[in-house]
Amino acid sequence: MNTISETTTQPRVQVLTSSTEERTALINQLGSIRGQRARQRRIILAVLSLLVLSMVIASLCLGQTNYSPAQVWQVIQGHKVPGASFTVGTLRLPRTAIALIAGLSFGLAGVSFQTLLRNPLASPDVIGISTGASAAAAFAIVMLSLSGTVVFFFAIVAGLLVATLIYLLSYKGGAAGTRLILVGIGVAAMLESLISWVLTQAGQWDLQEATRWLTGSLNGSTWAESIPALIALCVLGPLLLSQTKYLDSLQMGDDTAAALGTRVERTRILVIMAAVGLISFATAATGPIAFVAFLSGPIAGRLIGNRGSKLIPAALIGALLVLVADFAGQYLLGTRFPVGVITGVLGAPYLVYLIIRTNRAGGSL
């Protein structure tokens, strides 16, 4: 005997669509939030660009001897200005140009790596890629007495090799973030000792060279050094920026990204190659200016919040960090410090903070 009624009740379907007015209000609300954020983003980018520009002008005008912007402008135009032509034209201009190019490159490459590997510690200067490029450049210059484009070639090959090596060493059915970072830190330490060894083998122990390849320095910058780095930035920078959307989607995991139409492997390879290229070229010009790549992304993240991608803001922050640190190192501290020492002092506490924080949270690195 079946006591159960054979008729099921009508399903209580939750009506999914609300009234048109409510919907329109919500759409408008979403639209206005978006518009507001876009405006705020433009303001942040404009302010950062202005700061970078003023630092560029300050680095050109101010120093042991101060020149007016008008004098500097004359030098840039190629007029002969007594004193200024040498100080500004030969010393400050290439130095500032390299600071700008390297800062943008480090910032952009750093944030790309951090986003791709979903970890702020996965910056190329922490996981040994900058150190690899630096070791190769130091080896080429000090041991092989090479100069010019060949050095850049050495740096980029070494950068890519180190990236591949770290990837292979940490690969175990899919490269895991934490393992990759730990392996990278180990590789960085090894390469640093290699740099020290290269420097001791040099004919004369040149302190300037040493600081350059160990922590990064802009001393003795020349135009010849800036050109390859500039070309790399102009080619690889836009390439990286074109991947912004796909890079951001990878933060949600490979599967989600693929479901949203991202070509996961292609994006990953493009981003790694472009970021390693940027880092290597900039490092061959300045040495591995400590922690700029590492710091730029998180600072940009704090500033930009949920107002879109961090890539461009991080590049600007990178430039600002290098310009300010170099200026401070040269003129504000009594003794002259190379730029990498200043950025190192800024970056090291943040590295310690990050490690303590992740440790407290009980998380892995």
Partner 1 sequence: MPPRELTVHNLKVGYGERTIIDGLELAIPPGEITCIVGPNACGKSTLLRSMSRLLRPKAGQVLLDGKDIHRMQPKTLARMLGLLPQNPIAPEGITVADLVGRGRQPHQGLFARWSKEDDAAMAEALEVTNTVELADRPVDELSGGQRQRVWIAMALAQGTETLLLDEPTTFLDVSHQLDVLDLLTDLNRQRGTTVVMVLHDLNLAARYSDHLIALRDGSIRAHGKPEDILTAKVVQEVFGLHCQVIVDPSTLKPLILPAGRHHMLEHTRL
Contacting residues toward partner 1, per CB under 8 A: 4, 6, 8, 11, 13-14, 16-18, 22-23, 26-27, 30-31, 33-34, 118, 242, 244-245, 248-249, 251-253, 255-256, 258-263, 306
Least distance to partner 1 from the beta carbon of 266, Å? 10
Specify the residue, 92 or 307, whose C-beta has the smaller distance to partner 1.
Answer: 307
Q: Which is nearer to partner 1, 6 or 70 (CB)?
A: 6
DSSP state of 2: -
Least distance (Å) from partner 1 to the CB of residue 108? 16
Give min distance, CB of 106 to partner 1, in A.
22
C-alpha angle 133/316/160, rounded to 5°?
A: 20
Nearer to partner 1, 174 or 334 (CB): 174
Query: Among residues 7 and 64, whose Cβ is nearest to partner 1?
Result: 7
Dist. CA 359–CA 365, nearest whole Å: 7
Least CB distance to partner 1 at residue 153 (A): 31
Q: Whole-number minimum distance, CB 241 to partner 1, in Å?
A: 9
**Residue whose pair of structure tokens reads 């600007």 in the numeric block:** 316
**Cα–Cα distance measured from residue 58 to residue 90, given in angstroms and rounded to the nearest whole number:** 16
Q: CB-wise, 116 or 230, nearer to partner 1?
A: 116
| Residue 25 beta carbon to partner 1: minimum distance, rounded to whole angstroms | 9
For partner 1, give the closer residue by CB, 14 or 145.
14
Query: Which residues 6+ apart lie within 8 Å of 231 measured at CB?
Result: 281
Q: Which residue has the tokens 């920078």?
A: 237
Compute the distance between CA of residue 182 and CA of residue 121 in angstroms, rounded to an integer. 10
Q: What sections of the chain are H helices per DSSP? A: 20-61, 69-77, 84, 93-116, 129-138, 149-170, 177-201, 207-214, 223-242, 244-250, 254-259, 264-286, 292-304, 311-327, 339-360
